[in-house]
Copies of this chain bind each other. A is one copy, B any other.
Amino acid sequence: MRRPAKNPPPTGRRSNKPRPAVAARAPAAKPYHHGDLRRVLIEAAMQLVGEGGPEAVSVREAARRAGVSPGAPFRHFPSRDALMNAVAEEAQRRFRAEIEMALADAPSGDPLGRFRCLGIAYLRWAMKNPTHFEIISSRRFFDHDRSAGVSSDNAELIGLTERMLAEAFSAGQLRIQDLKQVQIAGRALVYGFARMHIDGHLPRWGVAEAEVEQMAADIVDLFIAGIAGPAAKV
């Protein structure tokens, strides 16, 4: 948790004649007001998360990177947790975009195929953005239920899997009766693999970094094969 002593050069204080435009514009002088500090703080925090994980985020460091005083962020976020919340919402936005993009390409006539596609896309994003995935997954870093956006996104995703499985069952693609069990098991599978990646378990289990993506696809396929019925062509 120790800060690495960034040693920021004390940039000159007082400005002479800042431009009245919204965004910072003066070349050498710094305007008193930042322009869009809130946005910049979130981006700085996102970057910190990417560099050292969720706990590497400190309000002071974000302020440092934004070039403002340690107290400034508290004008925009009442607490560190609130900042983390904003970061989580941004991460969730990107995650959702990835999922939607992947599903847009999947044929609607094959629900089980779409289910598989969802699993693959889920894992692909989690593999590529482990620290951001961790933020939106693990309580501790922000309170899921405190953010309406994240919560509703999540509920939507849950409902989506439910519908997919129901359709797959209707189409005779499943041989398992209890759809809820399938849903939970599938979710546990992909979440577990993503978590193993984040938590650094995969090397210990003999999965090298280069094989990770292939293995992710393989276990999703293995799971699908395990639940697929005679009508599915897996």
Which A residues contact B (CB, under 8 angstroms)? 53, 55, 137-140, 144, 154-155, 158, 176, 178, 180-185, 187-193, 195-196, 199-201, 204-207, 215, 218-219, 222-223, 225-227
For A188, list chain B residues within 8 Å (CB).
188-190, 192-193, 196, 219
Report yes or no: A222 in contact with B185, Cβ–Cβ below 8 A.
yes
For A199, list chain B residues within 8 Å (CB).
137-139
Q: Tell me how many chains of this kind the complex includes.
A: 2
For A225, list chain B residues within 8 Å (CB).
226
Report yes or no: B189 in contact with A185, Cβ–Cβ below 8 A.
yes
For A204, list chain B residues within 8 Å (CB).
144, 154-155, 158
Indicate whether A181 sits within 8 Å of B226 (C-beta atoms), given known contacts A189-B189, A191-B196, A192-B188: no
The answer, among B140, B185, B222, for a CB contact under 8 Å with A182, is B222
For A189, list chain B residues within 8 Å (CB).
185, 188-189, 192
Report yes or no: A185 in contact with B223, Cβ–Cβ below 8 A.
yes
For A158, list chain B residues within 8 Å (CB).
204-206
Report yes or no: B140 in contact with A222, Cβ–Cβ below 8 A.
no
Report how far A138 CA is from B154 CA in the complex, Å: 23
The answer, among B53, B138, B181, B195, for a CB contact under 8 Å with A192, is B195
- Which 7 pairs, one residue from A and one from B, show the smallest C-beta to C-beta distance? A226-B226, A192-B192, A188-B192, A185-B219, A188-B193, A191-B192, A139-B200
Minimum C-beta distance from A61 to chain B (A): 16
Which of A55, A137, A191 is the most central at the interface, judged by chain B CB atoms within 10 Å of its CB? A191
Report how far A199 CA is from B144 CA in the complex, Å: 10
Indicate whether A144 sits within 8 Å of B184 (C-beta atoms), given known contacts A189-B189, A205-B158: no
Residue of B whose beta carbon sits closest to that of A158: B205
